[in-house]
Structure 1
Amino acid sequence: MSAWSAENATNAYLRSIKMGKRVKEPDTSEFISALVAGTNARLTVLVCAGAADSTAALALVVAAHQTGGEVICILRGVHELRSSKEALGECGVDIIKFVIGDAEILLGSEYYREADCVVVDCTIDNFEGIFATAKGVGKKSMVLGYNAFCIMGNSRFDGHLLPIGQGLLVSRVDESDGKNRDFSGSGKKSRWVVKVDKFTGEEHFFRVRNSRGKGV
């Protein structure tokens, strides 16, 4: 996964909004698309709780179009596969590859070591095990969990929980030391601040690094 591309992130974000035809504020899928495209991910894995979430899947299709990458969607069974294909139609048929099986086992296999990003539905059974396995994928992989508000208060999941849509959990692992990194890749602690424009009602998210004085 190469350096951050603001152009890719912006284009994917705007295309996702147009594809979703939203009349209200952007949801989690647009931010997922921007993050995946911005990091130039070439191989992204989507782990679904049931049938493929059409908004999340299409957001990854947009990102893959921007980076020239591909998407692998892991489903539990044939029923979910049929429902997913019906929901997506012809969108992304040349980019999405469907795989049926146990997500935790599949993510632990050698094939998925090349993945740059893993996106997981937090409502899936055994999310804890799947998320932990996903963090071991790739050299410098990024792991995103959507519908993350359902796991609020669970300290076992490392990462930044962003108050976007139904919650977006962002975690990144650097293979050089095996530790979780914040999304910027720095070792400094940070927090997210939300400010609401009193005139438009729009929410703006700012990432603020905590300053730490040098020891004497």
Structure 2
Amino acid sequence: MKLIWSPETASKAYIETVKSCEKFKESGVAELLSAMAAGWNAKLIVEAWSHDGPIATSVGLAIAARATGGRHVCVVPDERSRLEYAAAMRNAASSSAIPEIAVGEAETAMAGLVGVDFLVVDCKRRDFARVLRLAKVCHRGAVFACKNAWQRNVSGFRWQWALERGTRVVRSVFLPVGKGLDIAHIGSNSGTSTMGLKKGPSRWIKHVDQRSGEEHVFRK
């Protein structure tokens, strides 16, 4: 079964996230990622949250999961982070929007998450590269996103270096949204692209930051 891009679902998730995240200041990251996850009909959305990090992206991903009927799992390193994250989500959204929380180091927390098709990692986490490498990708392919990418403590970051050996990066793009958003489309295990990024003509997508008014245009 292919993951087919749905503009209508993406648009609905984007609008709902804009409304839900008006009080947060995350420069459009939450809205963009929510629309992407919803538009690609992601069924297993995983995020690696950083201690004391903004919660807007989590709200957006919860909205996307609700739109697709998918599963949203947040990976946190310890019990303190779990409590902090759960409290922040309760304050930010309804109880129905609180995702599953997987606690532990990357190796432990990612172990049971099989078939990831949308992964968001906060580069402020010291183990963000391990999370990327340990992700068990859906056989149809996946989208990986690194937020706060300008804060990576890795010189000359390359997707191929960060991922498990043999992982195929179909396409990647760096967007000047928030503190840097690095996105990669990971190829399916079958060797064919099923995420709507490789086949067919490319097209330009415009994203307008609702707070600053800045316009970002990138090719899909």
Normalising by the residue count of structure 1, what TM-score does the alignment of the two structures yield? 0.77
Please name the residue that 1:11 is paired with. 12
Deviation of 1:157 after TM superposition, in Å, equals 2.6
2:122 maps to a residue whose letter is D
Please name the residue that 1:82 is paired with. 83
Instruction: Please tell me the root mean square deviation across aligned C-alpha atoms, in Å.
Output: 3.4
SS in 2 for 1:177: coil
* Corresponding position: 1:205 with 2:206: no
Please name the residue that 1:177 is paired with. 191
* Corresponding position: 1:71 with 2:84: no
Deviation of 1:155 after TM superposition, in Å, equals 3.6
Deviation of 1:193 after TM superposition, in Å, equals 9.9
After TM superposition, the structure 1 stretch with the greater mean CA deviation from structure 2, 92-101 or 56-65, is 92-101
* Corresponding position: 1:101 with 2:104: yes
- Whether the 8 Å contact between 2:122 and 2:148 is mirrored in structure 1 is yes
C-alpha spacing 1:184/1:170, structure 2 compared with 1 (3 Å): farther
Deviation of 1:132 after TM superposition, in Å, equals 2.7
Q: For the residues of structure 1 that align with 2:44 and 2:74, how far apart are their CA atoms? A: 11
Cα-to-partner distance string for 1:121-161 (whole Å, 9 max, x where unaligned):
01111322322333x52221211111112238624235311
Please name the residue that 1:167 is paired with. 180
Deviation of 1:59 after TM superposition, in Å, equals 0.6
- Whether the 8 Å contact between 2:48 and 2:75 is mirrored in structure 1 is yes
* Corresponding position: 1:58 with 2:53: no
SS in 2 for 1:123: coil
Normalising by the residue count of structure 2, what TM-score does the alignment of the two structures yield? 0.76
- Whether the 8 Å contact between 1:37 and 1:66 is mirrored in structure 2 is yes
Deviation of 1:26 after TM superposition, in Å, equals 4.9
Bigger Rg, structure 1 or 2: 1
Q: For the residues of structure 2 that align with 1:195 and 1:43, how far apart are their CA atoms? A: 24
Q: For the residues of structure 1 that align with 2:38 and 2:206, how far apart are their CA atoms? A: 24
Trace 1:146-165 onto structure 2 (pairs within 5 A). Answer: 146-151=147-152, 154-157=156-159, 159-165=172-178
SS in 1 for 2:82: helix
Bigger relative contact order, structure 1 or 2, given CA contacts below 8 A and separation 6+?
Answer: 2
Cα-to-partner distance string for 1:102-128 (whole Å, 9 max, x where unaligned):
124433x3x322222111101111322
Q: For the residues of structure 1 that align with 2:156 and 2:109, how far apart are their CA atoms? A: 25
Cα-to-partner distance string for 1:26-58 (whole Å, 9 max, x where unaligned):
511110000000000111111112256411110
List gaps (5 residues or longer) in structure 2.
Answer: 161-171
SS in 2 for 1:114: strand
SS in 1 for 2:96: coil
Q: Percent identity?
A: 28
SS in 2 for 1:89: helix
2:9 maps to a residue whose letter is N
- Residue 186 of structure 1 is aligned with which of 192, 195, 198? 198
